[in-house]
Amino acid sequence: MQTESILIRNGVVVTLNEADEWWPNGSVYIEGDRIVAVGDLDPQQYPAGRVIDAGGNIVMPGLINAHHHLYSTFARGFTPPGSPATNFQQILERLWWKLDRALDSDDVYYSALIALLYAARAGCTTIIDHHASPSCADGSLDRIEQAFREVGLSGCLCYEVSDRNEQGHGIAENERFIKKTKAAGDDQITALFGLHALMTLSTPTLERCADIAHEQGVGFHVHAAEAEIDVQTTFERYQRRLMDRFLEFGIPSRRSIFVHGIHFEAREMDLLKTTDSILVNNPESNMNNGLSVTPLLEICARGVLVGLGTDGMSSHMISQARAMYLLQRTYRRDPRVAFTEAANILLKNNRTICSRLFKTPRGLLAPDALADVIIADYVPFTPLSPTNFYGHLLYGLSFARINTTIARGRIVVEDGRVTAVDEEAIRARCVERARQVWTRIQSL
């Protein structure tokens, strides 16, 4: 996609760089897909093809979602047939495992495309996604990649391997796509090896997945300890705790993402740290499913790299960080905790996770960083400074419209509207696709 030189001026520039530099009337200059300069810039020294006046609004790095399920988009408003689920296993069986089976290739594409439009409008420019579509697994990651490239965002993709439909389902799609992205090497789209959870994975399947991933030098993206059934099933079958079972196959590593971790024991939290693995928390999803609360502060205290995702609930990352800290305060009955941790996890930890999965740095406004920049319609009516920015982030920016989103040096949202694609036409197609998916679910 073509890009142009862009100068953003007259903004409150929140760099989020290592020095947390702050420019109350600053500028950002972009050439191609990289940031060239940030600060009090002389426009004469940075002639640009496009000049954007931020109007005193917040200018900050694009946001990152460390765990998404784009394929879940068509579930919005849907009520599964039959009696309501009463536990997590029933939620999987009555909703998600029927929804993913009902998807065809076009559904995969459009559910990703419309979700990425919402992500761009929420200022989210990089997404680590976890996909499943058992009826059309082969080539499904290509359709998601197509959607990413059309909107202009960056993604790290994988396919969810599980034995629930057939043994080793999804292995071939992961292997093919990993090899494809490595050969392309353009860093807009990268890959991990996707796994569902240990409760749906047999020993032969895990052995095959581990062999391929280790040969290709990639990490894993897997749900772990989300609900008691995952822990119980694994122990009943193998007399192992989850992290011990993962270790048998060399799955933990600095490039591997474990999602949820609600029921990890203290020793398993320590193993996350000693293997330098990543844990991603998804508070709104956990609350929605009626699950327990992740012992987030205990995990953070061990020095584990903790990230923040949405688990398919939405693409709005600031509201997710707000939910994270509010849930932890409720859980611990302590109004002193989790505020700073939640903001740091969103703004700093998620970019550290990306540094392990992508070549190009992002999540900060600095020379040579990826030109992912957002402008929020937010001019505060109370004092704003580097020392109270997190308060404005979680109580002001969480409700503010994102006026402009620049992804990889390309303007994809302007004046709150997506410019990269025809949103109206996409919405019309999604209405058709969703109706067909809902009909198919009824027969499964």
Q: Which CATH superfamily is domain 63-357 in?
A: Metal-dependent hydrolases (3.20.20.140)
Please name which of 338, 297, 302, 300 lies closest in space to residue 321, comparing C-alpha atoms: 338
Following DSSP, what letter does each residue of 334-362 receive, concatenated?
-TTSSHHHHHHIIIIIHHHHHHHH-SS--
pLDDT tens per residue across all 444 residues of the chain? 456 899 999 999 999 998 999 999 999 999 999 999 999 999 999 999 999 999 999 999 999 999 999 999 999 999 998 899 999 999 999 999 999 999 999 999 999 999 999 999 999 999 999 999 999 999 999 999 999 999 999 999 999 999 999 999 999 999 999 999 999 989 999 999 999 999 999 999 999 999 999 999 999 999 999 999 999 999 999 999 999 999 999 999 999 999 999 999 999 999 999 999 999 999 999 999 999 999 999 999 999 999 999 999 999 999 999 999 999 999 999 999 999 999 999 999 999 999 999 999 999 999 999 999 999 999 989 999 999 999 999 999 999 999 999 999 999 999 999 998 999 999 999 999 999 999 999 988
Amino acid at position 248, single letter? E
Torsion of CA 69, 265, 210, 305, to 10 degrees: 60
Query: Token pair of 437, please?
Result: 């998916």
> Whole-prediction pTM value?
0.97
Strand 305-308 with 417-418, pairing: unpaired
Torsion of CA 329, 332, 336, 340, to 10 degrees: -60
Q: What is the pLDDT of residue 3?
A: 67
Q: 247 — alpha (psi -120 to 50), left (phi > 0) or beta?
A: alpha
Query: Token pair of 63, please?
Result: 């946001």
Fold (topology level) of 6-62+361-418: Urease, subunit C; domain 1 (2.30.40)
Residue 102 half-sphere exposure, CB side, CA atoms within 13 Å?
Answer: 26
What separation in angstroms does the CA of 90 have from each of 80, 86, 93, 116? 11, 7, 5, 28
CA dist 159 and 133 (Å) reads 8
Domains of the chain, by residue range, sit at: 6-62+361-418, 63-357
Amino acid at position 66, single letter? A
